[in-house]
Structure 1
Amino acid sequence: MLFQNDSTPLYSVELFPPKTAEGMDKLKLEIAKLNALGPAYFSVTYGAGGSTREGTLETVSWLRGLGIETAPHLACIGSTREQVRELLNHYRQQGIRRLVALRGDMPSGMGAGNQGDFRYANELVTFVRAEFGDAFHIEVAAYPEYHPQSGSPARDLENFKRKVEAGADGAITQYFYSADAYFAFVASCRKAGVEIPIIPGIMPITNYTQLARFSDTCGAEIPRWVRRRLEGYGDDVESIRAFGHEVVLTLCRHLIEGGAPGLHFYTMNQSGPTTRLWNDLELAIVH
């Protein structure tokens, strides 16, 4: 079986910590709108090498102060065991029960000698389990179109399986626009004995130039027909957003109908595109 039939689908949203007080004020307004949808939890990203550490802590603390279920990202590259232990103790005191454990990226200018005590996410997962047992539900990253640094899908699957064997409870994928890629990846995981829920990551399409640049960097494929249509709209923002919404809405429907265990929306701190998808999919009713 590709999916477990006894699990309630989880629909969640992701934020990134703003860099300014003004940005935080704006984010709080967006959070209020997103929270009204009833997501299972909010995840909060963590910059390369801990570059947004304070912003992440502030955002997580604010969410927890409202009683909102929160899943901080924890990127281990550049961190020591003691730093990670201190951060996890802080989160546990706040009542955090869910983490997104990642390797993370090296910030520009950081040399190889400053990589810290962890090289890969599976080492982080192992550490969390050894230090905190089952205190946290741990999500890890998955790549349906495989990680650009892995070299091959087979090697990427091996790396993913190591994270699962280390103690991951579930996974959230990199965004994608091909449902077939997701279902093929899940099938490969099941064949390899990986049984944890693998939740699709969903990126709304609102800005083609930004999306194309980001996708080229992270290895996410934009289907050629979608690229051509988006390119054809030029600077027509309204048409880009309307077409993008239909593409992502159709993708989400295929995923849900195919048995995906939930959806995780990369909101980019904008409530509008995710809210429209959520309402058109009637996720509030499902969740």
Structure 2
Amino acid sequence: MQIKELFKRKNLVFSFEVFPPKVTSPIGSIYDTLEGLQDLKPDYISVTYGAGGNGNDNRTGEIAAIIKNKYGIEALAHLTCIGSTLEQTKGVLQELRDKGVHNVLALRGDIPEGFEGKGELKNSQDLIRLIREDQGNRFGIAAACYPEGHVEGKNVDQDIEILKLKEEAGADHAITQLFFDNNYFYEFLNKVEEKGIQLPIQAGIMPVTNKKQIERIVALSGANLPVKFKKIMEKYEHNKEALRDAGIAYALDQIVDLISTGARGIHLYTMNNPYIARSVTESIHSILKSVNKEKEVV
């Protein structure tokens, strides 16, 4: 099933994200994570290319296939295009189809050090267009978007123009970069609506559970940290359990506010930690049930 159908059936789509194990680890090490996520019944699980976009595309497809075929959960495989030829990209798409994976998140990908512009696909719009023109409606296509602006430019208005191009190229829905201040998301949605963009947009939320994690996140994403969040980090940075629980509580506060304000979806960056996913999911179980029950009644 293509994920776009979930947005037609439900008021709120709730999903997880996982990343492949390190190259030096057996792929079976992902099973513990997936076993811990399975009974939480997310609408789908996305699989990244791994931290820093290190090109684990084969593992991405394999893990996505495991999620779909072994665990019976819809899978979304991340696919980057920077430095790839058309034929290489078409080959990956064929492999995904052969494995029964029919949803991709189309991304440009991180620009490698020393990259000189080789490759036929320059950006995610090019990739989306290729998938749609080459594959027709065989794939559901997700796009990324940035409520605080992409880290390379931090220009929200320009990023919204690009999101419009992604929609026109054939994207079905979008997932945001993580953020810690919901006001950025609401301002972003207002601008998206003014631009006439109609894609359903999921809010990307990451419960932060340790100080090193947040330092890495800020470096990679450029996300702004509200004063309230900084106080939590400072208060509990030397108590691992307290910081973990406080980070989850902060994310829950974000999620409840987003759902109550009418967000179309929540995409939870789990960091391959079933404890985090379970804590969040069980805490909002009745809210998710209530919100989607409304659609059934209508």
TM-score normalized with structure 1 length: 0.91
Q: Point out the more displaced range, 272-281 or 220-229.
A: 220-229
Q: Is the 8 A contact 1:11 1:263 kept in 2?
A: yes
One-letter identity of the residue aligned with 2:237 = G
One-letter identity of the residue aligned with 2:199 = I
One-letter identity of the residue aligned with 2:191 = S
**SS of the counterpart of 1:112?**
coil
| Alpha-carbon separation, structure 1, partners of 2:257 and 2:105 | 25
One-letter identity of the residue aligned with 2:279 = R
Partner of 2:59: 55
Runs of 4+, deviation exceeding 3 Å: 4-8, 20-26, 47-50, 283-287
Partner of 1:160: 163
Q: Is the 8 A contact 1:49 1:78 kept in 2?
A: no
After superposition, the C-alpha distances for 1:200-224 in whole angstroms (9 at most, x for unaligned) are 0110111122212221331111212
Q: Point out the more displaced range, 123-132 or 91-100.
A: 91-100
Q: Is the 8 A contact 2:210 2:237 kept in 1?
A: no
After superposition, the C-alpha distances for 1:82-134 in whole angstroms (9 at most, x for unaligned) are 011111112122222211111110233x42143x1111101111111110111
Shift of 1:250: 0.6
Partner of 1:68: 73
* 2:176 aligned with 1:206: no
Q: Which runs of 5+ in 1 are unaligned?
A: none
| Alpha-carbon separation, structure 1, partners of 2:94 and 2:162 | 27
* 2:228 aligned with 1:225: yes
* 2:111 aligned with 1:103: no
Q: In 2 relative to 1, CA 164–205 (structure 1 residues): closer, same or farther, beyond 3 Å?
A: same
- 1:112 corresponds, among 113, 116, 120, to 116
Q: How does 1:68-217 map to 2 (within 5 A)?
A: 68-108=73-113, 110-114=114-118, 116-217=119-220
Q: How does 1:10-29 map to 2 (within 5 A)?
A: 10-20=13-23, 22=25, 24-29=27-32
**SS of the counterpart of 1:43?**
strand
Q: Point out the more displaced range, 202-211 or 227-236.
A: 227-236
Q: Point out the more displaced range, 227-236 or 85-94.
A: 227-236
One-letter identity of the residue aligned with 1:103 = R
When the two structures are aligned, how many residues end up with a matched partner? 282
One-letter identity of the residue aligned with 2:95 = H
| Alpha-carbon separation, structure 2, partners of 1:6 and 1:184 | 26
The root-mean-square deviation of aligned C-alpha atoms, in Å, is 2.1
| Alpha-carbon separation, structure 1, partners of 2:40 and 2:26 | 22
After superposition, the C-alpha distances for 1:28-62 in whole angstroms (9 at most, x for unaligned) are 01211211111111111124666212321331232
One-letter identity of the residue aligned with 1:153 = V
Shift of 1:7: 4.1
Q: Which runs of 5+ in 2 are unaligned?
A: 1-6, 293-298
| Alpha-carbon separation, structure 1, partners of 2:207 and 2:228 | 17
Q: In 2 relative to 1, CA 69–5 (structure 1 residues): closer, same or farther, beyond 3 Å?
A: closer
Partner of 1:267: 270
**SS of the counterpart of 1:92?**
helix
Sequence identity (%): 34
